[in-house]
Amino acid sequence: MESWRTLYFPALAEFVRQYGSDTRADTEELRNELLGASTDDILKHHEESVGFLLSYADPDDRMTLVHRSLLFLTELLLSLRMQEGAASREQPSDEPFRSSSFHAVPIGEEAPPGKFETVIQLMDSGIGLFDTAGNLRFLNVQMSRFLQAPRHSLIGCTLRRLFFHPHLDRRTRKFILQMYKEMKLYRRFHGEYQDAQGRFLLVGISQIEELDGDYLVSVKDISEYKQIEQTAFQNDKLAMLGQIAAAIAHEIRNPLTSIRGFIQLLHPYLKEIGKQEYANIILSEIDRANDIIFEFLNSSKPSAPMKQNVPVAHLLKEMILLSESEAHMKGCELHCEIFDPGLTVAIDVKQIKQVLLNIIKNAMDAIYEVGDGRRGRIDVSARREGKYALITIRDNGKGMDRTTLGRLFDPFFTTKEAGTGLGLSVSYRIIRNHGGIIHVDSHLNEGTEFLIYLPYTDVKG
């Protein structure tokens, strides 16, 4: 294939899009390559290219597209004719070229898209086709949604123009550049990527011989599948944790009970010799070990919730009262806002209090660890959302990176030196046992937001 064919379509597409701007630089190389090319071949290729552009144009824009493409072809042919006339010292006539240009533009009624094209356009996977010169020849609706740009503005773009496309935001361009580098440097043509929005995308790049060596790019959002996979993996870990807990619970707690009893018997003797603080430390550490074992057992299988109807406003106000003294000591302000005072949920009060207090305590720790002297703030709110009561706890603490966020509910995972890594694992299971959902959104140095969805209850007085 002559090299001008690979240059023609992107130059035409750019001329149509940037009409009125200086596009001489885009057509200069094309004009040099077209010298010596057959006029019939140029007209035939132009007709195919315009037809391709028309398939992406909105109905209101088609006549404008036809008009601009006609100007592009006319100017191009006249330029070539003048160069040929100068070489032969003849005065060129532009009428044959104007007539040929007019007939090369498909202005008739466009045929409706075929069934297979409609299927491709409606696929949930993004599909794009690049030719061997790196020009984008085709993309479906889903691909334009991934790129967050209209299809007609992307068709005909070279890969370089795509990197600097005005409709693409910086994060999307960075994502495209990352895939391109991995393809060129590591020959990686298939893989999973996570974009700036946190979506998991399965990307594949294939060179299709049946399409004259063009590159087929497919992108599929697999975030939901990853979430299902993560949930299943979480459930497997919790089930394994339950088996371990059942096996070791009595083996550890029974000796601790015996040790505690003997220390209590020795307490009067230690008091006589002035060493009663030893007994106090031992008893305190035994109690702490028992608490850890209790959390461990609850993380594997929290007891079935004993539900009762509780006003959300009353529940949150009680949480604020229980937490405000510690918050004051750690330099935090607690704010509570109830958007629906009559909102009621059926919950096990003790278990849900455990969840809320754990999250509020984590928020205070996150603020305290920032240590830059700024005033910490924790906002607690509640409102109705669909069939759920949504309780939100937001802080302006240190936040978390995506790696930490992905493992947040894993048993024994903690970023605290003295943490057990069981608090949020227990909270996750408690909310799930209540038929609810817990979701976390966090960014480094910006804070964290917990969203707890609990089914609300209609209480009629």
pLDDT by residue (tens digit) across 17-50? 776 555 566 677 777 777 777 777 888 878 877 7
pLDDT (0 to 100) of residue 97: 47
CA distance 384 to 344: 10
CA distance 40 to 28: 21
Q: Give the burial class of 13: count Cβ atoms within 10 A of its Cβ; 0-12 exposed, 13-18 middle, 19 or more buried.
A: buried
Give the CB-side neighbour count of residue 363, counting CA atoms within 13 A. Answer: 32
In the block, residue with structure tokens 């493992």: 407
pLDDT (0 to 100) of residue 455: 93
Q: Which amino acid is at 167?
A: H
Helices (H), 89-195: 95-103, 115-121, 141-147, 159-163, 170-186
At the top level of CATH, the class of 308-455 is alpha beta
CA distance 361 to 226: 30
What's the token pair of residue 342?
Answer: 């009559």
CB 367, CB 306: distance < 8 Å: no
What are the start-end ranges of the E strands in 263-330? Answer: 308-311
3-state secondary structure of 251: helix
In the block, residue with structure tokens 């794009």: 128
CA distance 169 to 11: 23
CB 160, CB 179: distance < 8 Å: no
Specify the pairing of strand 332-338 against strand 376-385: parallel
The DSSP symbol for 79 reads H
CA distance 412 to 423: 9
Closest by CA position to 295, among listed 252, 330, 347: 252
CB 242, CB 301: distance < 8 Å: yes
Would you say the C-alpha torsion 333, 338, 341, 346 has a positive or negative sign? Answer: negative
Burial letters for 232-242: b for 16+ Cβ neighbours within 10 Å, e otherwise? Answer: eebeeebeebe
Arch. (CATH architecture) of 112-221: 2-Layer Sandwich (3.30)
pLDDT (0 to 100) of residue 298: 60
Q: Which residues in the chain land under pLDDT 70?
A: 1-2, 19-26, 55-60, 81-118, 188, 196, 210-211, 238, 241-243, 245-247, 249-250, 294-303, 371-374, 418-420, 459-461
pLDDT (0 to 100) of residue 418: 66
C-alpha separations of 69 from 118, 137, 308 in Å: 26, 17, 71
